[in-house]
Structure formats: structure tokens, C-alpha cells
Amino acid sequence: MKRILITGACGQLGSELTAELRNIHGNNQVIATDVSEPNSLMGEGPFEYLDVLDNRRTEAIIDQYNIETIYHLAALLSATAEKNIHTAWDLNMGGLLKILELAKEKSLKKIFWPSSIAVFGPDAPKIRTPQTAACNPATVYGISKLAGEQWCAYYYNKFGVDVRSLRYPGLIGYKSLPGGGTTDYAVDIFHKAVRGEEFICFLKKDTALPMMYMADAVKATIDLMQAPAESITIRTSYNISAISFSPGEVTTAIQNDIPEFKIRYEPDHRQQIADSWPMSIDDTPARADWGWEPSYNLQSMTDDILRELPLFWKLDTA
């Protein structure tokens, strides 16, 4: 029986994607790996400690479990990467290259690898940034994602490795804590809101960024991986879009449900990262090629998080 391997399975996206893949394919078919302890979010099923830079161990796990598909998510996010530029490059790039090479050698069926809106830099159009806009990233995270996209296309064109990728916007979920991204203020803000605390925001009030609710991100990933190979016309990485909002706008959405919620703005070094990114994304090719369509807007996402987060974390909000 062929199985699925996930690297970075303890991360924000990894844990929810692992849980959904286990729902679809069965718990034992999905092998979660990470350098952190497994969490309950990802459901029951096999877990292996794996540093993706350890090629021998990666290969051993692929062989042991008869892996056919890999979701390679292990990486440092933008703000953490800016503080550890060489570690970020080594992990984000080295990890991908090792996985692509193993996929080629072992003729694996499919690889998923996440790219990001961070491939765009200050010279790309800010509004509805098109798929083919100039990619001159201003962050080491963006540089690693752009180079990674090119490696994916190279391995596809040269060696026929069926590697697929999405340029995720900021992913907003309530089940995991923020993971070092610039867009992660929009995760943290909900935790403060339901606890009745003031939120100190590291971005300015009007800094709009492309965002997506985790449920949509998981759906987009699975839809892309299930699409027939011939419908995938972009082998670097697809723009995908759902919502675009600023700290001021998400605050208004929260205040619709929790009128007493308060926010204060204290922009830091992450403002510069956000300023280099698009404000919204045009995702026409993803919609045309494999039928991408998001389900959540800002208010429906906010309502869902404010309802579910206290239950999930068993908070006493009475």
C-alpha cells in the first residue's frame, strides 16, 4: 500500500493538512514527520522524528513506509527567516532540493511544496498582483521561495517529477499558535480578542495583505494535488487568493462580535517585510486550471474563529 509523507507536520498548516489527509486516506496511510513533538491536532497515526536535511533518514522513512506522495512543508517563515538568514536558506532550499532529488531517484508519484506571496517584491503591482508579475523578493524567505519555484519547474521539465505548488497568502487558523510569519498577527489577534485582552499589533492599521482561512488553504492544497496532471499548466507555483484585509479591517470584523475589543499599533521590523508584499492577488490561472474557489470572506472567517477558538482551547470566557 502506497503512503503519504508530510514534513513539517507540526506546523500551522501541517497539523491541519495531516488531519484532513488522514480523514481522506486513513490514519495509517499518512506518515507525519517533524523536528517537534507530535500534537493531537494531526489525529492518530504514524509519526517519525525527521530533520529534512538528514538525507539518509528521509530516504529510510520513504523506503520503510513505501511512500508515494510527499507534502514537504518544513521551512522557516518570513520573520524568523530574516533573523536567521543562513539557517533559513539552508533549511528552505536544502530541504526542497533533497526531497526533489529523492522524488526523482525513487520515481515518487507526486510532491507538494508551498511557495508564498513573498516571491513578489516592492516592484510588483500591489493590487491584484498577477501570476506573471515581476518576482524580485526583498526577504530571504521570498528569495528561497522564488528559487524553490524554479527548482520545482526544473525537476518537472527535466526529470518529469510531478511537483505542484501554491503561493500561499497569510494563513489564518485558530488551532495552532503563530509560527514566525509576518501575517501571523492575524492569528494572534483572535487569541487576544477571545481572552478579553488588548492586542498590540506589529503592523500599521492600514497595511492590507492577502490572507486565507485555514479551511480554504487545506481545500486548495488537496484540490491541486487531486487535479489531473494535464490540467496543471503552471509548474513554478500558482497564485491563490481568498481575502485581503488590514489590521484595521480585521479589528472591525472582530468588534462586530466583541464590541469592547481594543487594538494598539506598534509597528516593528516586520512592517518593512509587509510593505514589500502585495496587498491582494489575482489568481485567474488557479481558477481556470483546477477550479479554485475560496469559501470564506473576512466576516465569515472571523465569526467562525470567534465561535470555535474558545471551544477548541477550552477557554472559560464566561
Count the neighbouring beta carbons within 10 Å of the beta carbon of residue 257. 15
Q: Does residue 116 bind ligand SER (CB under 6 A)? A: yes
Task: Give me the least distance between CB of 98 and ligand SER, in Å please.
Answer: 21
Window contacting ligand SER (CB under 6 A); options: 33-41, 180-188, 220-228, 233-241: 180-188
Of 45 and 121, nearer to ligand SER (C-beta) is: 121
Of 67 and 74, nearer to ligand SER (C-beta) is: 74
Catalytic residue among 71, 141, 168, 174: 141
CA distance 83 to 67: 34
Of 38 and 278, nearer to ligand SER (C-beta) is: 278
Residue from 67, 77, 135, 218 touching ligand SER (CB under 6 A): that is 77
Q: Does residue 12 bind ligand SER (CB under 6 A)? A: no
Q: Is 156 a catalytic residue?
A: no
CA distance 68 to 221: 17
Residue from 38, 148, 170, 294 touching ligand SER (CB under 6 A): that is 170
- Which of 250, 259, 110 has the alpha carbon at shortest distance from 186? 250
Q: Does residue 69 bind ligand SER (CB under 6 A)? A: no
> Which distant-in-sequence residues (6+ apart) come within 8 Å of 49 by Cβ?
33, 34, 35
Counting residues that bind ligand SER (by CB under 6 A) gives: 11
> Which distant-in-sequence residues (6+ apart) come within 8 Å of 32 by Cβ?
6, 9, 10, 14, 18, 38, 42, 45, 46, 47, 48
Cell numbers placing 106: 525513487
Q: Does residue 181 bind ligand SER (CB under 6 A)? A: yes
Indicate the residue type of 251.
T
Indicate the residue type of 18.
T
* Catalytic annotation, residues: 141
Positions that interact with ligand SER (CB under 6 A): 77-78, 116-118, 141, 168, 170, 181-183
